[in-house]
């Protein structure tokens, strides 16, 4: 059974940093691209970043470029999101998702999500 378990969320002040982790199990982690998708309270879904299966390629939405870094450790089957210079608009539930490359890319398994609140 595919499982994705996020951790590392919490309350953080604007301008500070936070690092999210996502522990994967039930599939060969190193064979799949992975992504972070967020959802602000009572809002829709917003893609944040994607990393290729081997970590050699990364992609970000414009609003987080230069502030967020996606990475992975295939030996530990773990995905990360380093978030720096956090802003109030980054407040959201962050989901880790497995990404399939067919048809340009979609997300076939999602974690339960972790809440990040940016507030003073």
Partner 1 sequence: DTVLTQSPALAVSPGERVTISCRASESVSTGMHWYQQKPGQQPKLLIYGASNLESGVPARFSGSGSGTDFTLTIDPVEADDTATYFCQQSWNEYTFGAGTKLELK
* Location of structure tokens 């987080």: 64
Q: How far is the CB of 107 from partner 1 (least distance, A)?
A: 7
**106 lies in the binding site for partner 1 (CB under 8 A):** yes
- Interface with partner 1 (CB under 8 A), residue from 47, 55, 67, 74: 47
**Segment 10 to 39, residues that bind partner 1, using CB under 8 A:** 35
Nearer Cβ to partner 1, position 78 or 99?
A: 99
Q: How far is the CB of 49 from partner 1 (least distance, A)?
A: 10
* Location of structure tokens 């953080």: 12
Each as own residue / partner, the long-range contacts of residues 54-58 (CB below 8 Å, 24 or more positions apart, any chain) are: 54/30
Token readout for 81 is 């999101």
Concatenated DSSP letters for 45-92? EEEEEEE-TTSS-EEE-GGGTTTEEEEEETTTTEEEEEE-S--GGG-E
- Interface with partner 1 (CB under 8 A), residue from 12, 70, 81, 111: 111
Binding site for partner 1 (CB under 8 A): 35, 44-47, 50, 59, 61, 95, 100, 102-113
């Amino acid at each position: 059974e595919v499982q994705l378990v996020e951790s590392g969320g919490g309350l953080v002040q604007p301008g500070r940093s936070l690092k999210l982790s996502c522990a994967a199990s039930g599939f060969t982690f190193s064979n799949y691209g992975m992504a972070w998708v967020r959802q602000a309270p009572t809002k829709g879904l917003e893609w944040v970043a994607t990393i290729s299966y081997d970590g050699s390629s990364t992609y970000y939405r414009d609003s987080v470029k230069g502030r967020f870094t996606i990475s992975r450790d295939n030996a530990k089957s773990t995905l990360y999101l380093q978030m720096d210079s956090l802003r109030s608009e980054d407040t959201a539930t962050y989901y880790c998702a497995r990404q399939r490359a067919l048809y340009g890319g979609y997300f076939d398994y999602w974690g339960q999500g972790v809440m990040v609140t940016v507030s003073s």
